[in-house]
């Protein structure tokens, strides 16, 4: 498996792409990714799972989740639209990080099926965003950004609607989502998990089980991954020193940041920046 | 003529409205307004001028510009969509204030005609924004805000396209637009007009003539009006002291702020806030 550094200095990217291979080594990255299948014959490998997708099916590829986009028939490339963005893309929106919760609830399906109104809205908006870049009229970048936000709202709506029954039956799932939103808003600070747990109204022992069920991670792993995402984006998009980034992202020291970063990326932050 | 204080604490407002009167006293306000005629039979009085509008025609009602929306036939109310917003609505967008230049170039027509693609886009987006409020799904306010930004981009595109020939012939008009954008971004600071004029590449004596031609105002009047717009919005939407607002908005002192504010509003800032 490859770890990929994606150039997201503007915070997001949208492109039309072709899937060429019927099989391929998986890759992963810290960016959030949305993939919209445009043709028949798309195939997604996500972790252990494999999905056959029809036109309009949408997949959320979660940060650090191994995946690859494939075509079903050799010599028959399939078209898809790729949206990539850093979590910092929504940082200027009040409570914007709550838009990203679907990307962190790994116990939900990554698929938004083509027959959902929200999948249809996302596809329409993505095509409009590509068209904006082609025409490049005044303000096209701002238009793309607003279209990206609208797509995120639609994806969040899908997950909220889709999991509504489950959320109503299972009040602790609601508490975990609140905890995720809290961590996504406060990742840069010292986080007192006891306060987070208290606010979730879930019993402490049950909270940890439940948190892992929803996110696949312990709260601590979750926070470290978030910090790595922001740090990775800062390494690419700013000239800040490694120490600065370590402290801004809540790692406490450059040496601890270096250690954790290397564990994930098999590269020091300095080398990651140079690539 | 009446001066109206409009409740824009969230920075903007969008509503479907009916015009009932065939004649009415004009009013004015410091908010920026966009009016979209939905029915046959709308009539706009703007300053000295009167416009008969068809469905889809869009009017920009500039800040402090006396106006009223009328119906052509008594007893036959006409529908229109009202967008109101404070200039601070775009303050979180990088270079966002440049989106508002069409509202400050009073030498251009206030009408974006229904047959323009931009008018059609604005109407479609406005109807979508109203629909968002009706359905009130999660994230609807954020959706409305992004739709508002998209409408502003389309209106700016219309004015840039429409005045392109004029701008190409008349290089000084381009310099004045740059100066307007500069003032809109720096209204809160001490502004050195000599620097603004130098950057515009227009000769000093000609600059003042040209500035009045485009905006209807001297640069100083222009700055004071901008500051009054922001101050009015702060009086409504914050609990800041009058002195704080006076200083934040670049008036230098509470007493000077009080004096200028009273000249415009025939009310002290304190009374304006209480209303």
Hey, what are A244's tokens?
Answer: 């600065």
Q: Which residue has the tokens 């490339």?
A: A77
Q: Are strands A42-46 and A49-53 parallel, antiparallel or unpaired?
A: antiparallel
B142 touches chain A (CB under 8 A): yes
* DSSP at A123: H
Smallest CA–CA distance, residue B272 to chain A, in Å, is 29
Residues A66 and A108 in one domain: yes
C-beta atoms of B149 and A153 within 8 A: no
Residues A113 and A183 in one domain: no
Residues A215 and A239 in one domain: yes
Residues 159-198 of A with CB under 8 A from B: 160
Residues 89-128 of A with CB under 8 A from B: 92-93, 99
Q: Is the distance from CB of A45 to CB of A16 less than 8 angstroms?
A: no
C-beta atoms of A143 and B153 within 8 A: yes
Residues B116 and B41 in one domain: yes
Report the pLDDT value the prediction gives residue A18, as an integer from 0 to 100. 94
φ, ψ dihedrals at A27, nearest 5° = -130, 165
Query: Residues of B with CB below 8 A from A149's CB?
Result: 142, 146
Domain end residue (candidates: B162, B185, B214): B162
Residue B156 pLDDT level (bands cut at 50, 70, 90) = very high
C-beta atoms of B138 and A156 within 8 A: yes
- Residue A60's SS3 state is strand
Smallest CA–CA distance, residue A120 to chain B, in Å, is 16
Cβ neighbour number for residue A139 with a 10 Å cutoff: 21
Q: Which residues form the domain of B113?
A: 2-162
Residues B184 and B127 in one domain: no
Instruction: Domain count for chain A, please give it.
Output: 2
Report the pLDDT value the prediction gives residue B5, as an integer from 0 to 100. 61
C-beta atoms of B138 and A160 within 8 A: yes
Minimum CA–CA partner of A148 in chain B:
B146
**Among candidates A139, A150, A157 on the partner chain, residue whose Cβ is nearest the Cβ of B157:** A139
C-beta atoms of A153 and B143 within 8 A: yes
A141 touches chain B (CB under 8 A): no
Residues B132 and B180 in one domain: no
Q: Which residue has the tokens 């775009």?
A: B90
Residues B26 and B66 in one domain: yes
Please say if the pLDDT value at position B187 is more than 70. yes
DSSP string, chain B: -EE-----TTSEEEEEEEE--SS---EE-SSEEEEEE-STTEEEEETTEEEEE-TT-EEEE-TT--EEEEESSTT--EEEEEEEE-GGGGTTSTTGGGGGGGGT-TTS-SEE-TTSHHHHHHHHHHHHHHHHHHH--TTHHHHHHHHHHHHHHHHHHHHHHHTHHHHHH-HHHHHHHHHHHHHHHHTTS---HHHHHHHHT--HHHHHHHHHHHHSS-HHHHHHHHHHHHHHHHHHH----HHHHHHHTT-SSHHHHHHHHHHHHSS-HHHHHH-
Among A151-155, B2-6, B127-131, the minimum mean pLDDT is found in B2-6
**Mutation target vs A (from B98, B122, B142, B156; most A CBs, 10 A cutoff):** B142
Query: Residues of B with CB below 8 A from A160's CB?
Result: 138
Query: Residues of A with CB below 8 A from B137's CB?
Result: 157
Q: Are strands B78-85 and B12-19 parallel, antiparallel or unpaired?
A: antiparallel
Residues B18 and B63 in one domain: yes
Residues A156 and A263 in one domain: no
Please say if the pLDDT value at position B7 is more than 70. no
ipTM of the complex: 0.84
Query: Residues of A with CB below 8 A from B99's CB?
Result: 139, 142
Report the pLDDT value the prediction gives residue B6, as an integer from 0 to 100. 60
Chain A to chain B, count of Cβ pairs less than 8 Å apart?
38
* The Cα angle at residue A176 between residues A230 and A152, in degrees rounded to 5: 50
Which pLDDT tens digits describe chain A residue by residue (275 residues)?
566 666 666 689 999 999 999 989 888 888 899 999 999 889 999 988 999 999 999 999 988 888 999 999 989 999 999 999 988 888 878 788 889 999 988 888 999 999 999 999 999 999 999 999 999 999 999 999 999 999 999 999 999 888 777 666 777 778 888 899 899 888 888 899 999 999 989 999 899 999 998 888 999 999 998 898 889 888 888 889 999 999 999 998 999 999 999 988 888 999 888 87
**Among candidates A92, A137, A150 on the partner chain, residue whose Cβ is nearest the Cβ of B157:** A137
Hey, what are A196's tokens?
Answer: 């987070």
Residues A95 and A199 in one domain: no
Residues A152 and A28 in one domain: yes
Residues B137 and B189 in one domain: no
Domain end residue (candidates: A162, A191, A209): A162
Domain end residue (candidates: B101, B127, B162): B162
Q: In this structure, what CATH number is given to the domain that contains residue A198? A: 1.10.10.60
**Mutation target vs B (from A143, A146, A149; most B CBs, 10 A cutoff):** A146
Hey, what are A134's tokens?
Answer: 């082609």
């Amino acid at each position: 498996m490859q770890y990929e550094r994606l150039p997201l200095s503007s915070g997001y990217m949208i492109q039309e792409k072709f899937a060429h291979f019927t099989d391929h080594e998986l890759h992963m990255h810290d960016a959030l990714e949305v993939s919209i299948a445009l043709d028949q014959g798309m195939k997604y490998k996500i972790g252990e799972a494999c999905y056959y997708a029809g036109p309009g099916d949408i997949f959320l590829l979660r940060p650090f989740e191994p995946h690859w986009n494939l075509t079903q028939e050799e010599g028959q490339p399939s078209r898809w639209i790729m949206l990539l963005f850093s979590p910092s893309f929504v940082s200027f929106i009040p409570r914007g990080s709550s838009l990203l919760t679907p990307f962190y609830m790994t116990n939900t399906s990554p698929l938004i099926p083509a027959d959902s109104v929200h999948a249809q809205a996302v596809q329409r908006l993505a095509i409009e965003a590509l068209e904006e870049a082609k025409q490049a009229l005044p303000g096209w970048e701002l238009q793309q950004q607003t279209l990206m936000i609208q797509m995120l709202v639609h994806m969040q709506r899908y997950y909220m609607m889709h999991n509504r029954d489950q959320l109503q039956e299972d009040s602790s799932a609601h508490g975990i989502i609140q905890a995720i939103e809290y961590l996504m808003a406060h990742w840069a600070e010292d986080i007192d998990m006891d306060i987070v747990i208290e606010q979730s109204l879930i019993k402490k022992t049950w909270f940890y089980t439940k948190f892992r069920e929803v996110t696949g991670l312990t709260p601590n792993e979750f926070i470290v991954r978030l910090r790595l995402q922001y740090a990775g984006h800062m390494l690419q998009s700013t000239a800040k020193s490694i120490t600065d980034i370590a402290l801004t992202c809540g790692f406490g020291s450059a040496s601890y940041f270096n250690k954790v970063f290397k564990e994930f990326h098999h590269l020091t932050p300095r080398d990651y920046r140079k690539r």
